[in-house]
Amino acid sequence: MTIELIVVETLERKLADVQVPPVDVASVRRVARGRRIGRIGGTAAAVVAVLAAVSALVIGGGGGPDTAIDPVAIPTMDFTPGLRGFYDSADQATHLAGQTFQLDSALDPGTSATATPFGLVFFDQDQTVRLLPADGRVRTLAASPVRADGAFAPTVRYDPSRGLIAWLTSSDGQVNLSVYELVGPRLRLIGSYPAPCSGADCDQAVVAGIDQGLVFAHDAGGTSVLDPLAGPAAEWTHVTDGQVTDVKNRVVLAYEDEPTPLPDLLVAQGWRKTLAQGPDSLLTFDGNYELSGSTTLASTTGGRPLTLGIPVGSGPVTFSVDTDGSVLAASAEGDQDVFWDCMAAINCVELGRVASTDSGPMFLGRGH
Amino acid sequence: MRSELDFEEFASDTSDRFFRTAYAITRDHALAEHAVQSALAAAYSRWRKVSAHDPEAYVRRMIVNEILGSGRRRPTTAPTEAPVRRYVASPEQQVVDTDAVWIALLELPVGQRAIIVLCYYERLSEVEIAATLGIRPETITDETSTALANLRRLLTVSRQGARA
């Protein structure tokens, strides 16, 4: 057989097996009409509208709502040093990987977002899960046609140890956990499970964390853990009546009135628990220190505390942990919030300053 | 002049094959989908003119140009995992050969891969490929030979690696 025939046969066979997304003629028409307006009017605004519509077309794959995110306004980014994401409430500007741009209301910094090596994963108002990757072209990871029920707010967290991403969304009064493997802009479903909550408690259900493939979720009634890699039969196990605020490197950070032992499931896998100083406390990437409002980081192993190498500001320090493992910190200095990226806690570089607002410093991709 | 209904029929009839062609060239599902949707939108916005001639050639040209153009605008990214199912109905050796050829195809430079796909999947003539890519037919002849030679080389390396 000649090389030409082998190529023909290979292309026919391989491409016949490719899953083809359905063409959305309605979206195509919508974009095309925008192009016509652009040609006739010739205004910059029309061109932007068309590009936004193209973006929405690509984002939504035709199935989702037309969330007009202007790709022109989002530059290409380098996520090598981490996402370094924070938000300027006063100017409504997004700071990501050293770039500053304005993203429309699709990215609400008040809602959950999580930093991943592939970009920022966030929700829009309809619980559709979006990915903002380094190329600046926002993509839809999972479309959802419904808004959240009642007071419920969707949450998402990423597990760098397993490359898994988990989120809670609600529909028809039911809160569900979805767990996927995140590979670039694509997802591979691991499983979907009802959240461990019922009734009004579900309004407060959040993904508290995901580490080593185990998902922790809490509501008003406490925190439970689930192993989605166990398959469809995976079940929730109660961890504490309190709140697990973070999990990293087999360390559970729990905010609870009465300390309780970890369930056998976790103990058997080498997990340990440490008590959180506050409900917003986080762990460093290695799980060895707690990040909780102060430049002094308490050790979770009984060791000496670590002092973060940033100036002591006039208010509490807000934290996040970036995709490269560095600690992101923000504190007030005069009428400004100053944002820092600290590698190994002491080697800190200033990322930027924004005007302080009542909402305080806001990181993007903190999880919740 | 063709109507809007004709456009819908055209898009429905052709989009699957266009997507596969785009996917073979881009190696990326999302980029392929974007290229096809953009090309169809461009065709629809001037459907009266486009449909009067050869709409398939027009859309194909837009798709390929979009892909090659985006490759020039953006740094090359790592190929994404090919979302294809394993072919299981053939003898094992044939599956291995097909996989090896497919992987070798994906390793070709994007311009050569475009020519190979247009030639051996879309079954276009050299003149048609030249019109699609906007280059001379003689160049297509040369580039096709070079691409096939590269394929042979990649397959030889692959077989040697498999034996080692």
Q: Does residue B104 register a pLDDT over 70?
A: yes
> pLDDT value at position A145?
60
Banded model confidence at residue A109, pLDDT cuts 50, 70, 90: low
Chain B residues lying within 8 Å of A23, measured CB to CB: 11-12, 15, 36-37, 40
Which comes out higher in pLDDT, residue B53 or A193? A193
Residue A117 has pLDDT above 80, yes or no: yes
Residue B76's CB: how many other CB atoms inside 10 A? 8
User: Both ends of chain B: CA-CA distance in Å?
Assistant: 61
At CA A130, angle to CA A126 and CA A135, rounded to 5? 150
Contact at CB, A11 and B152, closer than 8 angstroms: no
Condensed to tens digits (0 to 9), the pLDDT of residues A292-338 reads 988 899 999 999 999 888 887 767 889 999 988 899 999 888 889 99
pLDDT > 90 fraction of chain B, expressed in percent and rounded: 18
User: Would the pLDDT of A54 be above 60?
Assistant: no
Q: Contact B12/A25, CB-based, under 8 Å?
A: yes
Give the range among A155-159, A273-277, A318-322, B85-89 with minimum mean pLDDT.
Answer: B85-89
B140/chain A closest Cα distance in angstroms: 15
Query: Which residue do the tokens 């992101």 mark?
Result: A328
Yes or no: say if A136 and A100 are a contact pair by the CB < 8 Å rule. Answer: no
pLDDT mean over B24-49: 86
Q: pLDDT confidence of B134, banded at 50, 70, 90?
A: confident
Percent of chain B residues topping a pLDDT of 70 = 76
Residue in A with minimal Cα distance to B70: A135
Measured between beta carbons, the chain A residues lying within 8 angstroms of B15 are 20, 23
User: What is the SS3 assignment for A331-348?
Assistant: EEECCEEEEEEEECCCEE
DSSP A23: P
Q: Which tokens is A190 given?
A: 């691991």
Interchain CB distance below 8 Å, A6 and B101: yes
The pLDDT, as a whole number, for residue B6 is 86
Query: Is pLDDT of A53 > 70?
Result: no
Long-range CB pairs of B154-161, under 8 A, 24+ apart, other chains included: B154/B104, B154/B107, B154/B108, B155/B100, B155/B101, B155/B104, B158/B100, B158/B103, B158/B104, B159/B100
> Which of A1, A5, A29, A74 best probes binding to B when mutated, by most B CB atoms within 10 angstroms?
A29
- Over range A228-251, report the average pLDDT: 92
Of residues A117 and A92, which shows the higher confidence score? A117
Q: A334 to each of A190, A313, A314, how far by Cα in Å?
A: 47, 8, 7
CB atoms within 10 A of CB A303: 10
CB-CB under 8 Å, A17 with B15: no
Q: Which residues from B are below 8 Å from A75, CB to CB? A: none
Which residues of chain A have a CB within 8 Å of the CB of B11?
23, 25, 28
Of B33, B83, B105, the CB nearest to A10: B105
Cβ–Cβ under 8 Å, residues A89 and A362: yes
A336: left (phi over 0), alpha (psi -120 to 50) or beta: beta
The pLDDT confidence band at residue A207, using thresholds 50, 70 and 90, is very high
Distance from CA of B80 to the nearest CA of A (A): 8
Comparing CB atoms, the residue among A6, A11, A17 nearest residue B87 is A17
Among B81, B83, B151, beta carbon nearest to A7 = B151
Q: Is A7 close to B120, i.e. CB distance below 8 A?
A: yes
* pTM beyond 0.90, yes or no: no
pLDDT attached to residue A39: 37
A357: which residues sit within 8 A by CB, 6+ positions away? Answer: A89, A90
Outline where B27-123 has alpha helix (H). Answer: 29-45, 47-52, 55-73, 92-107, 110-120
* CA-wise closest residue to A58 among A138, A142, A143, A145: A138
